[in-house]
Structure 1
């Protein structure tokens, strides 16, 4: 939900416009991406109670800890060590959820097929296509003769 819609909602609440009318105006302005009528009512109550913030309040519960850089590095290392490792195995080794591991793998640009790992690589030249290498691996040096 956009901050703009909340700001418009706040303005119209101060103008003492009924929430049904506010929702209709938002629908005309934002179309299919408009916030729902229940959200309009909730934010209207929020503003009528004297709150001026258009940001969501922090939510209770455990903060997200799975998408850390160290976890991403560990996932990458496991894949580099064994390209036939499964998502479930990675998930168990690191102790994070299956979907979190899957999202990390997708962010690396790796495409899975039959639980084998393939890096999505589109070479620009014939020479580049001769050998696949990891994104961060050093370039191969030729010996002088």
Structure 2
């Protein structure tokens, strides 16, 4: 059933007195993933409430710019203010203009853009931001005095839980689907209870040691390393957190292990497969991140 036919169904069910939630559920039950989205159903019900009778797209001029009228700009603006998560296709489907025109109205006429919420480890206080700036300045000064020596001597460590089962990420589970249908569904999976704590010591040349006990700081004291300052709540300034562990978790995504020994073997096999420049890249990235942290006044560095 194409979108015009679905609009006709929406109109019919609305005229029968059905609420938009019920209309959407009816379409979903019959058409499954190919049903119009809830937002689109909501918009069309609103259109019919306002007196619209046609289910066809509004007539378009041969000149695309004619769609950018004050009335259309106002209509698009009202729709977005009512639901800021609307997709371009949903706005275009309701207004009868192209997605390109919708994008033009939003970006050029209304000066709007769509942004995702940014997850951060913590909402930093002014004092915490200041500490991050001071630590970054101190580390950056030592780095720039002798870069080659710094990279040769720098050792970093961190701990991470490695589970017997780590679900695939959203990106890993992407699939090709037919045009007009929404994406496939996947049941929510959680990490297994069985897990191993891995303390990973590494430098620009590779892995130095993996200790499967949560006693990394004791090891550092025992080896008498000179510790660089590291601010709290700052995984964006820790090479293991922003470089090494995310790729490890991606590698483990979807794999299942029966024992702790199997987990340990998989972790060590992964690290052994990495090229030497992988480790150098992670440590060398600190210079840019320290500079960026200072530039942002201590706020988090995204990438």
Same fold (TM over 0.5): no
Larger Rg: 2
TM-score (norm 1): 0.40
Structure of higher RCO (CA pairs closer than 8 Å, 6+ residues apart): 2
